[in-house]
Structure 1
Amino acid sequence: MCRKMQAFLKGAGVIGIKPAKEKAAAGTSGENKKQKSVPWVEKYRPKCISEVAFQEEVVAVLKKSLEGADLPNLLFYGPPGTGKTSTILAAARELFGPELYRKRILELNASDERGIQVVREKVKSFAKLTVAGSRSDGKTAPPFKIIILDEADSMTNAAQAALRRTMERESKTTRFCLICNYISRIIEPLTSRCSKFRFKPLTDSIQEKRLLDICEKENVQCRSEVVPSEIIDSHLAACHSSSFEKLETVVKNMVNEGYAATQLINQLHDVIIDKEDLNDQQKSAITLKLAEVDKCLADGADEYLQMIALSAVIMQQFTQSV
C-alpha cells in the first residue's frame, strides 16, 4: 500500500506545468514566474514534529529534546511508510531553520551505499566539517550536524563497526540518526549508543484521512478507500474455494495493481485472528507463515512467490476446517 500511496502522491508532478510556448512567453515578458512542480509526497511532508501522525510517544520525547536545542544519537525502527525519515527531517528543520538545514544535514540511503568505503569517505568527511552559521530568526542553532542513514539494517557489519568508531570520535559535533525496519540487524555497539524509537504501523483510517485531506487541498476527487477490503475478501474466498488457479489469479491481480504485500499481510493477520471458522491451531499455522513472509519481503524476496506460498498455507488450513 505504501507504494500505491507514493504513486498517488507523486501524481502531482503534472500540475502547474505550462506548455512550451507559454513558458517561453512568460520567460520573455517577465510577467509570470516559472513555478517548479513539487510531488505531493514532498509538498505535504511534515514540516515540524507536531505534524507527524500517529506516533505520539516519539513526538512527545523529541519535543522535549528540541526544547533544549539538542538531540542524542537516534535509532528509528518500524515498518516502512510509518514516518521515520519524515520525523527526523522535521526535527532538523526545527533545529536549524531554513538557512542552515541543507548545510547541516547529510542523508544517505544505506541500502545503496552500505559499504565500509562510504563510511570512511562520505560519513567521516562530513562528520569532520566544522559547524558554522547562525539562524536569521534569532534562535540559537545547535553546535552539531546530523547524519541520516536510511535503511541502516542493510549495512554490512564491517561498515557498522566503522560507523561506531566515527560516532565516538565525532560525538561533539555530529549526531547520527539510523533508520531501519529491523532493529535486530543493527549491531549492539551501535544500538547502545542511540536512543531507540519504535514507529507503529499506521492504521488505514489515519492514512485515509491524510489522503483525503490532500485531495481536498488539491481539488481532486478521490474514492475514500485506501486499501480496498475487496482484495482481502477475494483472497480468502479463493482460499476457501480450494482452486489454486483462482487463487493464482487473485494474487497476480494484486501484484500487478501495485498493492503493497506488507500492508495486505497486516490486514490478513487481523482478519485471520477474528475468523470464527478457524481453530487456534489453524490460526497459529497461518500467523507463523505471515511472519515468515513478512521477513522474506523485508529481505527483498519476490512478492508474487511469497504471497503464493502464504496463500497455499491459508488454503491448507481452510481445507482442514471444512
Structure 2
Amino acid sequence: MTDGAQQALRRTMEIFSKTTRFALACNSSEKIIEPIQSRCAVLRYSKLSDSQLLSRLLEVCKAESVSYTDDGLEAIIFTAQGDMRQALNNLQSTFQGFGHVNSENVFKVCDEPHPVLIKEMLSQCVLGHLDEAYKTMAHLWRLGYSPEDIITIVFRVCKNHNMPEYLKLEYIKEIGYTHMHLAEGVQSLLQMSGLLARLCRKSAEPDNLMQR
C-alpha cells in the first residue's frame, strides 16, 4: 500500500475503532507508516523451519494431487526462505504453469539464479580456478540477473557449502563487502568478477593451504 492509502486506512481505523478490530499482516514492518504502527500491537514471528515448510507442502501436494519431485520441493523451500505464503504461491504458480513441480520449473517461475550454478562457481573458487568461476558468473550476467540477485544467492549457497569453516567465514566476509558496494551503486560485472578474484585469493593464501 502507498503512504496515501495507508493514511486513508489510518483514518478508517480511527472512525471505526469502537466497533471493529483490524488485523494487518506484512513482511516488512518498516514499510508501515508510524501512525498505523502506534495504533497496533506488533507481533513478530520467526521464519518457519525447512521441515515445517516441507510438511505443509506435502500435505498440499497430496490434497491437490500435485505432481512433484523431491528436488522441486527442495527448490521451493530454498526460494521461500521460511515464508509459508511464498512457498505456497511458488508451488501453485509452478504447477499451474508447467503441470509438474521440479527444480528447473520452480526456478523458471521464481526467476532466481540456479543454486547449482552458484555452488559450482564457489567450488571453482575454492580450488582457485578463477577462469572457470568467471565463466559461470558471465553466464548468469548474460541471462540478465542483477548483481543483487546473484550476490543474494551466492550468500545463501555459501552458508551451507561444503568447505572448511575458516574459509567459509572468509568467503562470507568478502561477499558482505561486495554486497555493501552494490548497495552503494557500484553494480557492474567488474565488481562481481573482483569478488571471484578475492575468493580465489583467499583459497590460495599460504595459511589456508597449510590448513587443508
TM-score (norm 1): 0.36
Could you tell me which amino acid in structure 1 is paired with residue 157 of structure 2? L
Contact 1:164 1:190 (8 Å CA) reproduced? yes
Q: 1:291 to 1:213 in 2, by over 3 A?
A: farther
Q: 1:167 to 1:186 in 2, by over 3 A?
A: same
The separation in 1 between residues aligned to 2:47 and 2:192, in whole angstroms, is: 23
**Residues 1:267 and 2:153 are matched in the alignment:** no
- Which ranges in structure 2 are unaligned for 5 or more consecutive residues? 76-102, 104-114, 205-212
Instruction: Give the aligned partner of residue 95 of structure 2.
Output: none
The separation in 1 between residues aligned to 2:41 and 2:162, in whole angstroms, is: 33
Q: Which is higher, the Rg of structure 1 or of structure 2?
A: 1
Could you tell me which amino acid in structure 1 is paired with residue 137 of structure 2? L
**Residues 1:211 and 2:57 are matched in the alignment:** yes
Contact 1:215 1:221 (8 Å CA) reproduced? yes
The separation in 2 between residues aligned to 1:230 and 1:205, in whole angstroms, is: 21
The separation in 1 between residues aligned to 2:27 and 2:190, in whole angstroms, is: 23
Contact 1:289 1:310 (8 Å CA) reproduced? yes
Instruction: Give the aligned partner of residue 178 of structure 1.
Output: 24
> 1:279 Cα shift?
6.8
Matches within 5 A, 1:287-306: 287=176, 289=178
Structure having the higher strand fraction is: 1
> 1:286 Cα shift?
1.6
TM-score (norm 2): 0.51
- Which ranges in structure 1 are unaligned for 5 or more consecutive residues? 1-109, 111-154, 297-304
Contact 2:119 2:157 (8 Å CA) reproduced? no
Q: 1:171 to 1:210 in 2, by over 3 A?
A: same
**Residues 1:245 and 2:135 are matched in the alignment:** yes
Instruction: Give the aligned partner of residue 315 of structure 1.
Output: 196
**Residues 1:234 and 2:120 are matched in the alignment:** yes
| Aligned partner (choices 247, 265, 276) of residue 165 of structure 2 | 276
The separation in 2 between residues aligned to 1:213 and 1:311, in whole angstroms, is: 41
> 1:315 Cα shift?
1.4
Q: 1:279 to 1:187 in 2, by over 3 A?
A: same
Could you tell me which amino acid in structure 1 is paired with residue 201 of structure 2? Q
Identity of matched residues, %: 27
Q: Secondary structure at the match of 1:178?
A: coil
Could you tell me which amino acid in structure 1 is paired with residue 21 of structure 2? R
Q: How large is the RMSD of aligned CA atoms in angstroms?
A: 4.3
Could you tell me which amino acid in structure 1 is paired with residue 120 of structure 2? S
Alignment coverage as a number of residue pairs: 155
Q: 1:200 to 1:239 in 2, by over 3 A?
A: farther
Instruction: Give the aligned partner of residue 188 of structure 1.
Output: 34
Q: Secondary structure at the match of 2:165?
A: coil
